[in-house]
Chain A
Amino acid sequence: MQSGPDQAAIQFGRPGPPAIEIAGLSHWYGEGKMRRQVLEGVDLSIASGEVVLLTGPSGCGKTTLLTLVGALRQVQAGQVKVFGQELAGSSRAERQQLRRSIGMIFQGHNLLRCLSAEQNVQMGADLLPGLSSRARRDQAREWLRAVGLGDQLHKLPHDLSGGQKQRVAIARALATHPRLLLADEPTAALDSRTGRDVVVLLHGLAKEQGCGVLMVTHDPRILDLADRVLRMEDGRVVDTASADSVTAGTLAATEAGSS
């Protein structure tokens, strides 16, 4: 089983409207005097199927941007369109419905502690309508095989290593057949080698499914996997570069740093 369980998902990879369109997006936290601006007029467009990395110093608003795109927060000012659906002024139910087509991978894996690896992935597959319980379980198993955990189906998260947990989380995110994957520093808790392996896997599966990826990361070793790298500073996207130039620059910097 090389590709994902549902071939239909690949259709989402066809050229179509951009997966994400952001115009003039601003966001504030706090009230009154404590009010603090974290995003200042972000403009951004991501094509469907594109793999985009978002870097920048901590506190520059990367995670806030991710939560807004992921329909986890109400948009305060500006426009955010995901798959053509306007999120500004959206209702709670609309956002909850939209989240079903967005896969999310967190810094901490956030697996359900009381469920086995297979059951965790099936919690994702359970969101798919019209499939029998057996079909959903089989999908969960295939996703776990796809991330190389076919022999760890019944282990609890407690008994898995950090890299394995993150791979279960990837399988869970992909099990809902998302059209977009959002990942917030998925490698932060992993050593660099495991981290890169996990991202390579994520990248490969997303490309196979034609699923776009927006990933926040600090890890220079994975920048070469991106179609595009965005750099944020103080609530603005300051630099958009094609992956090749960034990779060259970063690799040079990494080598300079290590020598």
Chain B
Amino acid sequence: MNPLLAIWSGRRIPLAWLLLTRQPVRLAVALAGISFAGILMFMQLGFRDALFDASVTVHKMFNTDLVLMSPRTKSSISMAGFPRRRLVQALADPQVQGISPVHWNLLLWRNPETRGTRSILTLGFEPSDPLFNDPALTAKASLLTQKGRVLFDERSRNEFGPVASWFRQGRTVESEVSGKRLRVAGLFAVGPSFGADGNLLTSSETFLSLLPNTPPGSIELGLIRLRPGADPEAVAKRLRRNLPQDVIVYTRNGFIEMEKDYWRSSTAIGFIFTLGAGMGFVVGCVIVYQILYSDVSDHLPEYATLMAMGYKLTSLLGVVAREGFLLAVLGYLPAYGAGVVLYGVIKGATKLPVQMDPDRALVVFTMILVMCMGSAALAMRRLGDADPAEIF
């Protein structure tokens, strides 16, 4: 016989399913509780991952293999300067194809509509350098050759003013950064991070005019592009050996990880969101345990009757385990749906890059499964009280 057919014809009364579905109110309460816990976990983990992803959106823009930074730099919101000479020295390595110095700082942008100021992440670079992964952006950079022109991130938070919509309407958008008048020459799209609410690109020349006190020859970021086929790790090792201690060499991934690590460890944000997800987990555990425990308690005489009929204790434990599994699956589905919808809402409201990702969906499902099966295991202890001798 076909094994599937054998399983089908060997099936028993689906007791776990019937125990759950014949008590619709209790089932609804249980599913609401599990879904709530699941949504809480989706939100907290979503925020956490969005924070880490958003913190490196700017980092990911750069077309680079290695990065030079000051050892005093701990994150993108506190970039320290280092001598530009070091970057030029790196050019001595035979594997290095090109270099690009970048200025990087948070400056105050004046909202052209309300006149309020807010700090915006500003990058200054040579407009002719092939700096970005996106060739369209590199092409737009030529607009910055004229002094006093900037590219504005159209996905910056709304507090910076209706710059993008004004620009699209064809208006001349001018504003003030650090007390200097600037004109928006174009738009690009990156999006805010937890560290910066908006982004601005400009030429080195314009950047230095905004910050006249910058020491001459000091930059915050040095991009190093290698020849095709070069091993970034090996070159990074060589540069670390040859360059003085006043710079640190990162690979592209190391540069991105350093920023994520900062938000993960140096701030409480990662911890708080993980704790929030943990609380969702605990709340869910309590709810599922309560439901399953009272379900087992209410049906104790019936379980005892089944034992008296000759059902094994293990097969009754299996019923409770299946109840736990069914609750996990049935509770997860609405949590997933609500998660997708809420991510959309949050993305619209905060412009954070938060979206349903398969890894997180799996993590939350695993947590819900552990929550339900763990609670079922605890509720099973109550089954030990089912004494078939007591029901006569």
14 A/B residue pairs, CB under 8 Å, sorted by A = A63-B392, A66-B392, A72-B308, A72-B389, A72-B392, A97-B310, A99-B309, A99-B388, A106-B392, A112-B15, A115-B18, A127-B310, A127-B311, A132-B10
The minimal Cβ–Cβ distance linking A119 to chain B, given in whole angstroms, is 5
Q: Provide the bound-state CA to CA distance between A101 and B302, in Å.
A: 19
Q: Is the pair B18, A119 in contact by a Cβ cutoff of 8 Å?
A: yes
Q: CB-CB < 8 A to B13: which residues of A?
A: 115, 119, 122-123, 126
Q: Is the pair B310, A110 in contact by a Cβ cutoff of 8 Å?
A: no
A176 at the interface (CB under 8 A from B): yes
Q: Is the pair B23, A124 in contact by a Cβ cutoff of 8 Å?
A: no
Neighbour of A104 across the interface among B12, B15, B308, B313, CB < 8 A: B308
Number of A-B contacts (CB under 8 A): 79
Can you name the residue of chain A whose Cβ is closest to the Cβ of B311? A127
Q: Is the pair B22, A176 in contact by a Cβ cutoff of 8 Å?
A: no
The minimal Cβ–Cβ distance linking A142 to chain B, given in whole angstroms, is 17
Q: CB-CB < 8 A to A126: which residues of B?
A: 12-13
Q: CB-CB < 8 A to A21: which residues of B?
A: none
Q: Please report the total number of B residues contacting A with Cβ < 8 Å.
A: 27
Can you name the residue of chain B whose Cβ is closest to the Cβ of A99? B310
B377 at the interface (CB under 8 A from A): no
B274 at the interface (CB under 8 A from A): no
Q: Is the pair B9, A73 in contact by a Cβ cutoff of 8 Å?
A: no
Q: Is the pair A110, B312 in contact by a Cβ cutoff of 8 Å?
A: no
7 tightest Cβ-Cβ pairs between the two chains A and B: A100-B310, A114-B22, A132-B9, A99-B310, A72-B389, A110-B305, A67-B389
The minimal Cβ–Cβ distance linking B99 to chain A, given in whole angstroms, is 74
Q: Provide the bound-state CA to CA distance between A70 and B12, in Å.
A: 25
Q: Is the pair A72, B8 in contact by a Cβ cutoff of 8 Å?
A: no
Can you name the residue of chain B whose Cβ is closest to the Cβ of A121? B13
Q: CB-CB < 8 A to B12: which residues of A?
A: 126, 133
Q: CB-CB < 8 A to B309: which residues of A?
A: 99-100, 104, 123-124, 127, 172, 176
Q: Is the pair B301, A110 in contact by a Cβ cutoff of 8 Å?
A: yes
B19 at the interface (CB under 8 A from A): yes
Neighbour of A70 across the interface among B9, B19, B308, CB < 8 A: B308
Q: Is the pair A106, B391 in contact by a Cβ cutoff of 8 Å?
A: yes
The contact string, 1 if C-beta is below 8 Å from chain A, for chain B 74-117, is: 00000000000000000000000000000000000000000000
Q: Which residues in chain A, 137-170, are within 8 Å of chain B measured between CB atoms? A: 156
Neighbour of A184 across the interface among B15, B18, B301, B392, CB < 8 A: B392
Q: Which residues in chain B, 307-366, are within 8 Å of chain A measured between CB atoms? A: 307-313
Known contacts A112-B305, A176-B309, A176-B310, then 9 further A-B pairs from the complex at CB < 8 Å, ordered by chain A residue = A63-B392, A97-B310, A108-B301, A112-B299, A122-B13, A126-B12, A127-B310, A133-B10, A133-B11
Q: CB-CB < 8 A to B22: which residues of A?
A: 113-114, 156
The minimal Cβ–Cβ distance linking A181 to chain B, given in whole angstroms, is 12
B279 at the interface (CB under 8 A from A): no
Given A66-B392, A67-B389, A96 contacting B10 (CB threshold 8 A)? no
Q: Could you tell me the dominant secondary structure of chain B's interface residues?
A: helix
Q: Which residues of B contact A (CB under 8 A)?
A: 8-13, 15, 18-19, 22-23, 299, 301-302, 305-313, 388-389, 391-392
Q: CB-CB < 8 A to B392: which residues of A?
A: 63, 66-67, 70, 72, 106-107, 184
A193 at the interface (CB under 8 A from B): no
Q: CB-CB < 8 A to A110: which residues of B?
A: 301-302, 305, 391
Q: CB-CB < 8 A to A98: which residues of B?
A: 310
Q: Provide the bound-state CA to CA distance between A119 and B15, in Å.
A: 9
Q: CB-CB < 8 A to A72: which residues of B?
A: 308, 388-389, 392
Q: Provide the bound-state CA to CA distance between A134 and B389, in Å.
A: 32
Q: Provide the bound-state CA to CA distance between A127 and B313, in Å.
A: 14
Most buried by A among B9, B12, B308: B308
Q: Provide the bound-state CA to CA distance between A78 and B8, in Å.
A: 46
Can you name the residue of chain B whose Cβ is closest to the Cβ of A97? B310
Can you name the residue of chain B whose Cβ is closest to the Cβ of A132? B9
Q: Which residues in chain A, 10-55, are within 8 Å of chain B measured between CB atoms? A: none
Q: Provide the bound-state CA to CA distance between A106 and B10, in Å.
A: 29
Q: Provide the bound-state CA to CA distance between A63 and B389, in Å.
A: 9
The minimal Cβ–Cβ distance linking A154 to chain B, given in whole angstroms, is 13
Most buried by B among A114, A122, A176: A114
Q: Provide the bound-state CA to CA distance between A52 and B12, in Å.
A: 34
Q: Is the pair A114, B23 in contact by a Cβ cutoff of 8 Å?
A: yes
Q: CB-CB < 8 A to A70: which residues of B?
A: 308, 392
The contact string, 1 if C-beta is below 8 Å from chain B, for chain A 163-197, is: 00000000010001000000010000000000000
Neighbour of A113 across the interface among B10, B302, B306, B311, CB < 8 A: B302
Q: Is the pair A114, B18 in contact by a Cβ cutoff of 8 Å?
A: yes
Q: Is the pair B308, A112 in contact by a Cβ cutoff of 8 Å?
A: no
Q: CB-CB < 8 A to B15: which residues of A?
A: 112, 115, 123
Q: Provide the bound-state CA to CA distance between A6 and B16, in Å.
A: 29
Q: Provide the bound-state CA to CA distance between A97 and B312, in Å.
A: 8
The minimal Cβ–Cβ distance linking B144 to chain A, given in whole angstroms, is 72
Can you name the residue of chain B whose Cβ is closest to the Cβ of A122? B13
Q: Provide the bound-state CA to CA distance between A102 and B309, in Å.
A: 8
Q: Provide the bound-state CA to CA distance between A49 and B18, in Å.
A: 37
Q: Provide the bound-state CA to CA distance between A253 and B19, in Å.
A: 48
The minimal Cβ–Cβ distance linking A174 to chain B, given in whole angstroms, is 12
